[in-house]
């Protein structure tokens, strides 16, 4: 049990990452106050020690719903997806900027620490190779601009209120908690299409490089920062440090599915606005700070994902 933070509020608790965080916190003995609007997430773990609240973090009166629980820390996972940010930019800003500020303001006034899930999207287009936290930020999507803005919000609130914070820039995270769709997560998008047949449309080059992080590893990194003083007031990348091309991802998924990649008709469509060619983490700072090292190799994570998806379940 993490005694310092026995009761933790998790926003976006039914989503891919939030659900994995909730499970891990419960395994470690924490009481969890889980909130989500259930517009996208599909996980709802019902067991003693978890209290669910259906709420949009951007709605008025957000803080009134949670003060009664007196959480000692907040893990802010809730977000409107990057894949929908150009389609619904105002919604993206409302949830990701205003909603996040409401969470941050409440934490600042309650004087409790917050772990904020930022994104590798803040880096935009970078030279090939692992990206350190010191790289220039070049956000090129509405979603990424919101993430950069929220990181700045935290620094201002730290100066004004003494807000304790940790920012985690997660790289491309995958797992069975994603609802099958064509806009959320490269692994989810490819797998959703492969499970529907042998026609696959990929937006952008097959030679794009991604750092693919299994969700259970992401959850360990997040929870590992919760009570570690070395994480306080820092920005960390969370990734594997290993680059995988979209072409290699497709081949590995076909292998796991028992499919020949030569049987799949692959169409390269126009790239999504702001999608970088290469995005790989330099995650050495997080390892040095809290000792975090990913446990899942790509193939192992994909096997677990495919088994869960075919079984219609979540890990």
Domain boundaries, the chain: 3-176+212-240+281-296
Q: Specify the length of the chain in residues.
A: 315
94 Cβ contact list (under 8 Å, min separation 6): 58, 80
Measured between alpha carbons, how far is 12 from 64 in angstroms, rounded to an integer? 17
Predicted confidence at residue 313, as pLDDT, reads 52
The torsion angles phi and psi of 10, rounded to 5 degrees, stand at -120, 120
In whole angstroms, what is the distance from residue 161 CA to residue 170 CA? Answer: 26
281, 211 Cβ separation under 8 angstroms: yes
Q: Which helix (H) or strand (E) holds 213?
A: strand 213-214
What is the pTM assigned to this prediction? Answer: 0.95
Q: How does pLDDT run along the chain (315 residues), one tens digit per residue? A: 344 668 999 999 999 999 999 999 999 999 999 999 998 887 888 999 999 999 999 998 888 888 899 999 999 999 999 999 999 999 999 999 999 999 999 999 999 999 999 999 999 999 999 999 999 999 999 999 999 999 999 999 999 999 999 999 999 999 998 888 888 899 999 999 999 999 999 999 999 999 999 999 999 999 999 989 999 999 999 999 999 999 999 999 999 999 999 999 999 999 999 999 999 999 999 999 999 999 999 999 999 999 999 987 544
Task: State the pLDDT at residue 182.
Answer: 85
Cβ 34 vs Cβ 50: under 8 Å:
yes
Residue 196 to residue 187: CA distance in whole angstroms: 14
pLDDT of residue 3: 45
255 CB burial (10 A radius; 0-12, 13-18, 19+): middle
- Within 10 angstroms of residue 158's Cβ, the number of other Cβ atoms is 15
Question: Given the DSSP bridges, would you call strands 244-245 and 209-210 parallel, antiparallel or unpaired?
Answer: antiparallel
CATH, range 3-176+212-240+281-296? 3.40.50.720
- Find how far residue 273's CA is from the centre of its chain: 20
Cβ(266)–Cβ(135) below 8 Å: no
């Amino acid at each position: 049990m993490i005694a310092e933070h026995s009761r933790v509020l998790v926003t976006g608790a039914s989503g891919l990452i939030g659900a994995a965080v909730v499970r891990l916190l419960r395994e470690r003995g924490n009481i969890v106050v889980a909130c989500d609007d259930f517009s996208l997430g599909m996980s709802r773990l019902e067991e003693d020690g978890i209290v669910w609240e259906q709420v949009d973090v951007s709605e008025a009166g957000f803080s009134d719903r949670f003060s009664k629980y007196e959480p000692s820390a907040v893990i802010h996972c809730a977000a409107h997806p990057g894949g929908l940010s150009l389609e619904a930019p105002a919604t993206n800003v409302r949830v990701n900027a205003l909603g996040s500020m409401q969470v941050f303001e409440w934490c600042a006034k309650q004087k409790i620490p917050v772990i904020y899930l930022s994104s590798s999207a803040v880096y935009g287009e970078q030279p090939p190779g692992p990206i350190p936290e010191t790289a220039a930020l070049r956000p090129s999507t509405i979603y990424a601009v919101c993430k950069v803005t929220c990181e700045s919000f935290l620094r201002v609130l730290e100066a004004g209120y003494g807000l304790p914070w940790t920012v985690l820039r997660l790289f491309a995270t995958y797992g069975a908690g994603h609802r099958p769709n064509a806009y959320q997560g490269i692994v989810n998008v490819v797998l959703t299409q492969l499970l529907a047949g042998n026609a696959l449309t990929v937006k952008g080059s097959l030679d794009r490089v991604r750092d693919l992080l299994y969700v259970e590893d992401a959850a360990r990194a997040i929870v590992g920062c919760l009570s570690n003083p070395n994480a306080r007031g820092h920005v960390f990348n969370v990734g594997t440090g290993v680059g995988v091309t979209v072409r290699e991802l497709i081949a590995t998924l076909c292998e796991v599915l028992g499919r020949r990649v030569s049987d799949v008709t692959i169409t390269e469509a126009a790239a999504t606005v702001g999608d970088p060619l290469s995005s790989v983490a330099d995650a050495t700072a997080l390892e040095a700070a809290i000792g975090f090292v990913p446990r899942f190799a790509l193939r192992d994570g994909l096997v677990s994902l495919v088994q869960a998806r075919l079984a219609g379940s979540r890990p």
